[in-house]
Amino acid sequence: MNNIGIKLPSFLQKKENKKEDKEKYLNYLTNGSSLLEEQLSFSKNGHQKLPLRSFTAEEIINSTNGFQESVGPFLYKGNFNEKKVLVKKYEKKATMKRKHDHVIRDIVISSEMSYHKNVLQIIGYCLEFERVALVYEYSQFDYLFNCTEFLTWEKRVKIAIDIASVILYLHTEFPRSIIHRNLTSNNVILDQNGVVKLYNFECCIPLPVGKVHVQDELIGTIGYLDPEYVWSSNVTLKSDVFSFGLFMLMLLSGKEIKVNHEGKYYSDDYGLISLENYASLCIENNKLEDNLIDSKILQEEQKKLKAFLNLALRCAKNVGENRPNMIDVARELQRIKKGELQALLPTMECLIDWN
């Protein structure tokens, strides 16, 4: 979008502030203060990598025609100055179940990540609503969970590699390591060019300096949550690894593989069972097809399928210290892609096997 910059809020563009502008004014002050605080907390030297435009409420409402065309949860198609945009607009705070609103955090992290090719690019925001609205670049897209049946094996591995690179960036490229905390297929889209993109960074939380965990209220998506986080309220970098393991299983099977607070999966055949035992029983009983491996890719090279499944299960271990680090996961995915399967990395024990 051209002419990105600061624009006066709508209530300051008028000669007299009307009574109905009071709410916008208060929202602008409150949200602006929170945004500055988050920028100083998360951004390097307090500066965003990508300058963002401040939109007025009137511009957002007009561009979306009053939020008429929804293209996803809280996502609306808009048109601003003959350029299409995506607007993320949540309901008011009164409808929120959790105590804190992290939309401001989403703006700052999204801005810092916007140059990553696998992150949906944010171009602006609006502070005048009670909950800040975000404005993204426009692209025709679909949610990943709607596309898995059409994906080749090669594309699934590429998606895993690309999303791993985003999570690894969060873990390693900020002054303090950042935990995503809500990695699910609901936050992953495929654009019109088939490029996978992650968005929604509102659940992100930084690790305190010198610490390996941070205690916080439970936030995320049920079914993808690290059992250790559920038990202890301590979230770690390995919490993202756990969610990524379930994400890999979704790519492999073509369906959501969700677990309960103990990390157990419910199967029609075996009831509540650990993922590792479930995989072993599927192999023993020749039930891999459409249980853990999509029938469309079942005939791919067995060594690669085995390595991918083993890596996913390793990531989804119940105990965090038994999971690999994200950098090792990213490296192993590259090895799987290249077919370099002579030996697993030292951290990658073989959890299951089949002949």
Give the residue-averaged pLDDT of 139-158: 93
Stated as kind and residue range, the H or E segment containing 272 is strand 271-274
Give the residue-averaged pLDDT of 9-37: 60
- Give residue 26's pLDDT band: very low, low, confident or very high (50, 70, 90): confident
Give the residue-averaged pLDDT of 220-248: 96
Q: What residues pair up with 77 in beta bridges, in sequence order?
A: 86
List, for residues 258-307, the tens digit of each pLDDT value.
999 999 999 988 999 999 999 999 988 888 887 899 999 988 888 899 99
Note the pLDDT of residue 247.
97
Note the pLDDT of residue 328.
96
List, for residues 91-107, the tens digit of each pLDDT value.
766 555 444 468 888 98
Output the CA torsion sign for 203, 204, 208, 213. positive
Note the pLDDT of residue 3.
40
Least confident of 38-47, 125-134, 172-181, 333-342: 38-47
Mean per-residue pLDDT of the chain: 85
- Give residue 43's pLDDT band: very low, low, confident or very high (50, 70, 90): low
Give the residue-averaged pLDDT of 98-119: 83
Percent of the chain with pLDDT over 70: 80
Give the residue-averaged pLDDT of 212-217: 94
**Whole-prediction pTM:** 0.86
Note the pLDDT of residue 42.
63
3-state secondary structure at position 198: strand
Give the number of other Cβ atoms within 10 Å of residue 66's Cβ: 10
Same fold, 10-138 and 142-338: no
Return phi, psi of residue 105, to 5°: -60, -35
In this structure, are residues 333 and 160 in contact, taking their beta carbons and an 8 Å threshold? yes
Give the residue-averaged pLDDT of 146-160: 94
**What does the block give as tokens for 8?**
């006066």
Note the pLDDT of residue 30.
65
Give the residue-averaged pLDDT of 184-195: 94
d(CA 131, CA 128): 8
- Give residue 324's pLDDT band: very low, low, confident or very high (50, 70, 90): very high
| Domain boundaries defined on the chain | 10-138, 142-338
* Higher-pLDDT residue of 329, 12: 329
Least confident of 83-97, 126-140, 201-215, 280-294: 83-97
**What does the block give as tokens for 106?**
């989403």
Task: Answer whether residue 353 shows pLDDT above 80.
Answer: no
Q: What residues pair up with 70 in beta bridges, in sequence order?
A: 76
Give the residue-averaged pLDDT of 218-244: 96
Task: Answer whether residue 2 shows pLDDT above 50.
Answer: no
> What is the CATH class of 10-138?
alpha beta
Note the pLDDT of residue 13.
54
Give the residue-averaged pLDDT of 64-93: 90
- Give residue 44's pLDDT band: very low, low, confident or very high (50, 70, 90): low
The CATH number corresponding to 142-338 among 3.30.2130.10, 3.90.245.10, 1.10.510.10, 2.30.30.100 equals 1.10.510.10
Give the number of other Cβ atoms within 10 Å of residue 30's Cβ: 14
Task: Answer whether residue 39 shows pLDDT above 70.
Answer: no
Note the pLDDT of residue 288.
86
- Give residue 41's pLDDT band: very low, low, confident or very high (50, 70, 90): low
Task: Answer whether residue 171 shows pLDDT above 80.
Answer: yes
**What does the block give as tokens for 51?**
């300058």
Percent of the chain with pLDDT over 90: 62
